[in-house]
Copies of this chain bind each other. A is one copy, B any other.
Amino acid sequence: MSAKPPSTRSDAVRNRKLLLDVAARTFAERGVEVSIGEIAQRAGVGKGTVFRHFPTKEDLLAAIMLDLLDELIGAATGLLADDDPVRALRAFMTAGVEAFVRDRAFCDVIGRPSLQSQEVRDAIHRLCEVAEGLTARAREQGAVRPDVTGTDVALMLSGIQHTAAPLLDADPQAWRRYLELTFDGMTAVTGRPLPHPPGRLTLEENPS
């Protein structure tokens, strides 16, 4: 009852698609702060249309984030078929960091649980699971330390982006340096286990 199914009228479908595209691009460039007004303008539709398709700004944002997450999950799932686990894991992390680098809103949302709808939290959880699939294969083969989890890997994508963030204006590829460094940390053979148990993301609304 809360999630009214998207209309199937052809113009509405088209508009919904258009809005998602434009909003995605706009949020990506400028973060979650962009106003609905600007998105509507860029899309060439009225603000009312945005709100018809997405009852609140949060809903619109969530839809876009879900798309992004699904894409990433899809890519990761595909990589499970790669017969070189390390290459697959690296490809996944590369794609993941790139997604963050490209999208300021994605960074905002992942970094601020208060911006996450239940659906987004669920998708993040699924992402962690595929990541775990990829990680497990590399782990089993001894290519990454035994105590690195899929959640670790997923979380580090955002961390790598943020490490590089202050450099990205001047050098859009700066993240590659930190991805490599992180990768080396994951694969390092230290003999010492990581000093803190791995995390699990909270699936429920945080009542803070």
Contacts and interface: CB of A to CB of B under 8 A. Distances in A.
Contact of A170 (B162, B187, B199): B199
A183 B180 CA distance: 13
A169 B113 contact: yes
Contacts of A178: 152, 155-156, 159
Contacts of A184: 184-185, 188, 190
A185 B181 contact: yes
A167 to B, nearest CB: 4
A156 B166 CA distance: 11
A194 interface: yes
Contacts of A35: none
B171 A162 contact: no
Interface residues of A, number: 48
Contacts of A155: 163-164, 166-167, 178
A152 B166 contact: no
Interface in A176-203: 176-178, 180-188, 190, 194-202
A178 B160 CA distance: 11
A3 B176 CA distance: 40
A148 interface: yes
Given A159-B162, A166-B113, A170-B202, A196 B177 contact: yes
A148 B167 CA distance: 15
Interface of A: 107, 110-111, 113, 124, 148, 152, 155-156, 158-167, 169-171, 173-174, 176-178, 180-188, 190, 194-202, 206, 208
A-B residue pairs, 5 tightest by C-beta: A185-B185, A159-B163, A167-B199, A177-B196, A162-B162
